[in-house]
Structure formats: structure tokens, C-alpha cells
Amino acid sequence: MRIDILTLFPDMFEGPFTQSIIKRAVARGHLEIHLHDIRDHTLDKHKRVDDYPFGGGAGMVMMAEPIALCIEKLQAERKYDAIIFMTPDGETFSQSHANRLSLHENIIILCGHYKGVDERVREMFVTEEISIGDYVLSGGELPAMVVVDALARIIPGVLNDETSALSDSFQDGLLSAPVYTRPADFRGHKVPEILLSGNDRLIGEWKLEQQLERTRQRRPDLLEKLDFDK
């Protein structure tokens, strides 16, 4: 998978993208990440990329031309399956969303800033708009990192144990069951006996019961989306 990220602040990605799962995905050749500074595509001699909004109002708006030129340059080089704009009024990002996007070969992620981007960019180029929650951040860079991380870990070959991603919360519509490791007794708090039994069938049943109970307690809204009897 190739991901091209359009941003005013490419240096923000240096730390997160050189660590952990994303670093592994890139090193193993499963993921390419290319950062593009939108300022490099402005025709303004002062590298200006924003201007005051028509109709008045506070804040500045990212201009259409630099973004359009950057996207068009990339589109001339390859076909993109999706052009994603990170915005608070987009579709709320979910695991199923990540699963679908992970099947793409090439995607562009546009990071807004200031009061957002000229609406014509959204009309002319953007195919999907994504939000990571009902709140406003200073820009789309942090949300873009969240999306890339969610995609990277489910690309086949990235995780050492590919079944690990399949057991994550939300993959089956439920929250994950509690997990434990050694020692079996930590300061008097013991691991449930069933997990030490070696009986895979009973352990599986216990995990499902725990998933259901945890989801009922913490995210009952998720159960409403499932087909079985709650």
C-alpha cells in the first residue's frame, strides 16, 4: 500500500512514523508513506497557502490552488483508490472503515489546517471525508496518523502474529476480553482458572462471555448493531 499525505507540517510525522508498527510495515515493504509539503506547490512567491474567507469571519482558509496542483501532480503519476480529507464533519472512523481502506493500493490523505480548506477542493478532488471524533484539533495531521496506524497493523505481513489484529476490539463488533500474562498470581490477584486450563473450547466460550459483558457495560451501543439476541 502507498499512502501520500498532503500537509503543511510534514515534520510532525517524523516521530510516529519511525517507530513501532508503522516502522515495521515500511521496513518490510508492505507500506510506503510519502509526505508532501503543500507549500511546495503554491505559485505565490512568499509561499502563501491561505487567505481570508469570503463573506468574512475569523480565521484563515487554505487556498485551493496549491492543494489542487499537488493532487494533480500525484494523479498524473498513478491512479488513486481514494482521496481522503481529515475533517471534524467527516464520517466517524471505525475498524470496519480501516478494514476497507486497507484493501486499497494507493490513497491520498489531505490534512487541513486553520479554518479548513476551500470547499472547491472537497467538491473537485476528495472522495472520502473522515473524522476521528466529535472534537476539533488544530489540524488534520494527528487524525491522519491515527488512520495510518490503524491501516498499517492490519496489512498482511506487518504483524508477527497476523491473528493478533483479528482479535482486536471492534473487529467482530465487540470489545476485547480481558488479557493476562505471567505471573499467574500478582499480589494476590489471580488469573481466571479457565485461562490456565488448556481447554481451548472453554477458553473460547469464556472470552466471548467476557466480550459480551464488557461491551454491555461500556459500549451498549455496539450491541444494537449486532444481529444476535442481546
Q: Is-contact 130 97, C-beta < 8 A?
A: yes
Q: Is-contact 110 154, C-beta < 8 A?
A: no
| pLDDT value for 227 | 60
Q: Are residues 68 and 26 in the same domain?
A: yes
| pLDDT value for 226 | 77
Q: Are residues 148 and 171 in the same domain?
A: no
| pLDDT value for 224 | 86
| pLDDT value for 100 | 94
Question: Residue 229: which pLDDT band, with cuts at 50, 70 and 90?
Answer: very low
Q: Round to whole Å and give the CA distance between 6 and 3.
A: 10
Q: Residues 104-140, buried b or exposed e (16+ Cβ, 10 A)?
A: eebbbbbbbbbebbbeebbeebbebbbbbeeeeeebb
Where is the domain boundary, 104, 122, 152? 152
> How large a percentage of the chain has pLDDT more than 90?
82
Where is the domain boundary, 90, 120, 152? 152
Task: Report which DSSP code applies to 192.
Answer: P
> Among residues 45, 106, 39, 33, which one has the least CA distance to residue 70?
39
Q: What type of residue is 144?
A: A
Q: Are residues 139 and 198 in the same domain?
A: no
Domain count across the chain: 2
Q: Are residues 58 and 111 in the same domain?
A: yes
On whether residue 192 sits in a domain, the answer given is yes
Q: Round to whole Å and give the CA distance between 17 and 23.
A: 6
Mean pLDDT, the chain, integer:
92
Q: Are residues 105 and 135 in the same domain?
A: yes
Q: Are residues 178 and 65 in the same domain?
A: no
Q: Are residues 143 and 178 in the same domain?
A: no
| pLDDT value for 160 | 67
Cα 99 to the center of its chain, rounded Å: 10
CATH number at residue 10: 3.40.1280.10
Q: Are residues 127 and 175 in the same domain?
A: no
Question: Residue 210: which pLDDT band, with cuts at 50, 70 and 90?
Answer: very high
Least confident range of 13-17, 52-56, 160-164: 160-164
On whether residue 229 sits in a domain, the answer given is no
Structural domain of 180: 167-223
| pLDDT value for 94 | 94
Q: Is-contact 102 1, C-beta < 8 A?
A: yes
Q: Are residues 138 and 177 in the same domain?
A: no
| pLDDT value for 170 | 57
CATH number at residue 202: 1.10.1270.20
Over the stretch 110-165, which tens digit does the pLDDT of each residue have?
A: 999 988 999 999 999 999 999 999 999 999 999 999 999 999 999 988 886 554 55
Residue 208 pLDDT greater than 50, yes or no: yes
Q: Are residues 112 and 26 in the same domain?
A: yes
Over the stretch 75-98, which tens digit does the pLDDT of each residue have?
A: 999 999 999 999 999 999 999 999
Give the relative orientation of helices 20-27 and 141-152 as an angle to the nearest 10 degrees: 60
Where is the domain boundary, 124, 152, 180? 152
On whether residue 230 sits in a domain, the answer given is no
Q: Are residues 196 and 131 in the same domain?
A: no
On whether residue 103 sits in a domain, the answer given is yes
Least confident range of 2-6, 10-14, 65-69, 155-159: 155-159
Q: Are residues 126 and 197 in the same domain?
A: no
Question: Residue 57: which pLDDT band, with cuts at 50, 70 and 90?
Answer: confident
Is 80 strand, coil or helix?
Answer: coil
C-alpha dihedral sign at 174, 97, 22, 66: negative
